[in-house]
Amino acid sequence: MQSTRRTKKIFNTAVVALVGIALLWYFVKIYQGRNFTPSIILQFVLSGLSTGSIYALVALGFVVIHNVTGIINLAQGEFVMLGGMIAIELHKGAHLPLLVAAVLSVLAVTLIGALMERLTIHPARHSPIVTLVIITIGFAFATKGIALLIWGTDPYSLPAFSKGPPLDIFGATITHKQLWIVGVTAVILVGLYFLFERTLLGKALRACAVNRTAARLMGISPERMSLFSFALSAGLGAVGGVVFAPATYITYDMGAPLSVWGFVAAIMGGLVSSPGAVIGGLIMGLLGSLGKGFTVAGLGDAIALLVLFLILFFRPSGIFGARETGREGL
């Protein structure tokens, strides 16, 4: 038993080492082939961080809902799309000031998240988790259809929140739009920390995550916490959409890829911890950006996923995950 285990370990290490060496060799070769200066690499890092912040916000939404209900909400990316679209509609259609439109949009999507929980998840709350996940997929389809109905296939964008020349950091530049994304994510993370650690509501949410039955015995209503977690996640997604809207174009079909990458980021961070989700998101953003920079654009995501496999190989529960996760999955 002991010896087979050791051979297995040696074999595993060998496999990982081989894949790692192959990747490294590939990068070095490309590095020699093109002329990369440190500032170009820094540029990749900066743009990776701003994309990663969006992934982080989506991943945070996954973690909040999963912690309280055990559900993987595959409609999480749709909240980002809705947040961006509604803000654009309010600003350009209803001519509201930019910040007012942004705040109203986040509130509206929060309400949509709560409605989703009451109308689709709550009636089926005693069903197996996988059924609830399929419900979120159905909700995502319907939302995408409604967005297509209202806004069509055109891409929309929001003006920048603040104007000014891009900042120069050691030869690389970062725009105000990107700074807004990174800054807002940081503020949200601090806010969530206070919510979960310092308020009664946050403690109630955490209690639900630890043990539902015990929480119910303490007078906490898991149903209400489930409602609250969906509303909070929807709000987080909408914030992502609002700060993302000036930096890119919002389209009706951007939700599904964001859900996928947010889920990947959340898994990488261990699916239970908020800092883990943010770090997972940033890592995914960085890997994607560096992968795209160093290889053919289309292969960037594949590189990011390969690294994720390596991480899961050593830590089957993600970077911040508990050692043993229950078999209760998706």
Partner 1 sequence: MEQKEKGRDWNQRLNALGVMFLAILVGVIGWVELAQPFGIRFRDFTGGMVTFDTLIRIGILTIVLVGLNLLMGYAGQISLGQAAFYGIGAYTSAIMTTLASRHGVLPGVSRSWWWPWLAILVGMGVTGGFAYLIGRPILRLRGNYLAMATLGLGIIMYILFREGEDFTGGNDGIAGIPRLAIGSFKIWPIERYYFLVWAIALVVIIIALNIVNSRVGRALRSIHGSEVAANTMGVDTAKYKSQVLVLSAVLASLAGSLYAHFQALIAPTPFSFAASVELLVMSVVGGIASIWGAPFGVALIYVVREVLRARLHAILHGAGGEHEMIVYGIVVVVIMIFMPEGLTAGLAKALRRAKRA
CB of 55: closest distance to partner 1 in angstroms? 14
CA angle 71/75/78 to nearest 5° reads 155
By the 8 A CB rule, do 64 and 129 touch?
Answer: no
CA dihedral 257, 260, 266, 268 (to 10 degrees): -110
- What is the helix (H) or strand (E) element at residue 84, kind and residue range? helix 76-88
- What is the helix (H) or strand (E) element at residue 169, kind and residue range? strand 167-169
Distance CA 218, CA 209 (A): 13
CB of 168: closest distance to partner 1 in angstroms? 35
Nearer to partner 1, 169 or 302 (CB): 302
CB of 330: closest distance to partner 1 in angstroms? 5
CB proximity list for 326: less than 8 A, separation 6 or greater: none
CB of 288: closest distance to partner 1 in angstroms? 12
By the 8 A CB rule, do 129 and 58 touch?
Answer: no
- What is the helix (H) or strand (E) element at residue 86, kind and residue range? helix 76-88
CB of 292: closest distance to partner 1 in angstroms? 12
Nearer to partner 1, 247 or 279 (CB): 279
User: Which long-range CB contacts under 8 A does 123-127 form with residues at least 24 apart?
Assistant: 125/223, 125/226
Distance CA 178, CA 199 (A): 31
CB of 44: closest distance to partner 1 in angstroms? 19
Nearer to partner 1, 21 or 299 (CB): 299
Distance CA 34, CA 108 (A): 48
Nearer to partner 1, 143 or 175 (CB): 143
Nearer to partner 1, 74 or 88 (CB): 74
CB of 72: closest distance to partner 1 in angstroms? 6
CA dihedral 271, 190, 236, 260 (to 10 degrees): -30
Nearer to partner 1, 248 or 325 (CB): 325
CA angle 95/256/45 to nearest 5° reads 85
CB of 195: closest distance to partner 1 in angstroms? 24
Binding site for partner 1 (CB under 8 A): 12, 66, 72, 74, 120, 123-124, 126-128, 130-132, 134-135, 137-146, 148-149, 256, 260, 263-264, 267, 271, 296, 298-299, 301-302, 305-306, 308-309, 312-313, 316-318, 321, 325-330
Distance CA 112, CA 231 (A): 8
Distance CA 122, CA 132 (A): 10
Nearer to partner 1, 21 or 146 (CB): 146
Nearer to partner 1, 140 or 245 (CB): 140
Distance CA 255, CA 103 (A): 20
CB of 138: closest distance to partner 1 in angstroms? 3
Nearer to partner 1, 81 or 158 (CB): 81
